[in-house]
């Protein structure tokens, strides 16, 4: 499956979400739309996030096979972004965060990975059809952009493999005001290098 994802064409237009959904569905991965396996957030939970300072349009979710969303870990990230953790039954964790900003090839090697600590290894970047895959010492992550947001998912290489991170980011979805994840955000994730 990873080999098929690697050979898929690079998607850089506004139809990228739908095309990725079709690609993943054809691979048997599926694309959740807020029903079935998708997680919906209660109005109370969304109001709590807003009270913490999370901007309503900064709440996104992913589905990460083998991991469960730790709803109690949801909180504000930086000024008005959103962050949460996903945990496996074995106690492994993956961080997921959304913040306003831009991301591209020029930022990829300069911006530290989440919770990387003082790692002296260089940040290695690779762009594919989903986004920027980055590694730094024992950690790795995917980063994509959508509607002025940088969306990242990060973990220890020993805790989660690249294929799972990639599948999760291919199905990222913004949470609507009613708490139900939508299948695509306004304009859809743009997983292409920024125009210069």
**pLDDT for residue 105 is more than 90:** yes
Instruction: Return the pLDDT at 39.
Output: 67
Domain range list for the chain: 2-174
H-only helix segments in 86-184: 105-108, 162-170
| Position 176 confidence tier, pLDDT thresholds 50, 70, 90 | confident
pLDDT in tens, 141-166: 999 999 999 999 999 999 999 999 99
Cα–Cα distance list, 175 to 64, 88, 172 (Å): 16, 22, 10
Per the CB < 8 A criterion, the answer to whether 84 and 75 are in contact is yes
Predicted model pTM: 0.73
Indicate the class that CATH gives domain 2-174.
Answer: alpha beta
């Amino acid at each position: 499956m990873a080999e098929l994802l690697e050979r898929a064409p690079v998607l850089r237009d506004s139809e990228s979400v739908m095309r990725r959904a079709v690609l993943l569905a054809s691979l048997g991965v599926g694309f959740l739309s807020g029903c079935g396996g998708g997680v919906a957030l209660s109005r109370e939970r969304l109001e709590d996030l807003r009270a913490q300072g999370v901007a309503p349009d900064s709440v996104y979710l992913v589905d990460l096979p083998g991991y469960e969303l730790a709803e109690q870990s949801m909180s504000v990230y930086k000024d008005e972004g959103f962050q949460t953790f996903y945990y496996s039954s074995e106690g492994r964790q993956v961080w997921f965060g959304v913040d306003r900003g831009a991301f591209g090839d020029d930022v990829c090697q300069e911006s530290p990975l989440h919770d990387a600590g003082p790692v002296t290894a260089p940040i290695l970047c690779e762009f594919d059809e989903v986004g920027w895959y980055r590694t730094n010492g024992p950690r790795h992550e995917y980063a994509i952009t959508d509607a002025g947001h940088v969306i990242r998912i990060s973990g220890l290489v020993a805790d989660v493999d690249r294929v799972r991170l990639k599948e999760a980011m291919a199905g990222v979805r913004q949470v609507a005001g009613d708490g139900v994840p939508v299948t695509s955000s306004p304009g859809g994730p743009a997983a292409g290098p920024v125009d210069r």
